[in-house]
A = this chain, B = another copy of it.
Amino acid sequence: MAADTQATRWRRRKDARTPEIIEAALECFGERGFAACRLDDIARRAGVTKGTIYLYFPNKEELFKAVISRSLVPRIVAGEQVVAASDLPAPVQLERLLLTLAEIIPSSTVGAIPKLIIAEAGNFPEIARFYFDEVISRGRRLITGILRRGIARGEFREIDVDATFFSVVAPLIVALLWKRLFEVHDDAALDTAALCRSHLQLLMHGMAP
């Protein structure tokens, strides 16, 4: 029985290692960037030693790729479901989607990814491509889809949906970066809720027929 408990504990431990290391790596990469982040740091945070990381990932670069790819899919899926599951008016859908998106902003883990992508896309074209295909393109399809439906239904005026995509999501992305990079230097904290409200209002007024 004791042996059985042991075995279970060890198995769970082993299964848990991969996400634990990814989590630790995401934190560390997010704070310092890919190059400046040492595997020793990641290992310490994950509660293992450097050598152990190599049992789960062939090298630092692959670990980085895993960090990026495995941390995002759930979020995208969530977003797609918000839209697909309903047949609400486009403005309502857009609002819900942005509010869902805005929840990521303060998330200490996933929220670090955009900064990472921006910093390292040049050095890791493979990651950039993956991120573009799996996150950005899907996100853009979601949003432009809503915009198109809104136009078709007469809920939005005739707008350039590809361009407006930027107007819609950019403020949230910039807010995400701001929180991590500049809020500490500013007099007041960034009021994410107010920003969302204000931005949504601007969008609704701005796109109204």
Q: Which single member of B121, B136, B167, B169 contacts A198 (CB below 8 Å)?
A: B167
Q: Which single member of B35, B174, B202 contacts A173 (CB below 8 Å)?
A: B174
Please, which residues of chain B bring their CB within 8 A of the CB of A180? 122
Q: A160-B198, A194-B163 given as contacts; is B121 within 8 A of A181 (CB)?
A: yes
Q: Is the CB of B181 within 8 A of A129?
A: no
Number of copies: 4
Q: A121-B181, A170-B171 given as contacts; is B203 within 8 A of A202 (CB)?
A: yes
Shortest CB-to-CB span from A91 to chain B, Å, is 13
Q: Which single member of B157, B163, B198 contacts A195 (CB below 8 Å)?
A: B163
Q: Mark A161-187, 1 if CB is under 8 A from B, else 0.
A: 011101101111111011011100110
Q: Mark A18-37, 1 if CB is under 8 A from B, else 0.
A: 00000000000001111110
Please, which residues of chain B bring their CB within 8 A of the CB of A195? 163, 166
- Number of interface residues, chain A, beta carbon within 8 A: 55
Residues of A at under 8 Å CB distance from B?
31-36, 115, 117-123, 128-129, 132-133, 136, 157, 159-160, 162-164, 166-167, 169-175, 177-178, 180-182, 185-186, 191, 194-195, 197-199, 201-208
Q: List 30 A-B contacts (CB under 8 A).
A: A31-B122, A33-B35, A33-B119, A33-B122, A33-B123, A35-B35, A35-B36, A36-B123, A115-B118, A117-B181, A119-B119, A121-B181, A128-B182, A132-B182, A132-B185, A136-B182, A159-B198, A159-B201, A160-B194, A160-B197, A163-B197, A164-B198, A169-B174, A170-B170, A171-B171, A173-B174, A202-B202, A202-B207, A203-B206, A205-B205
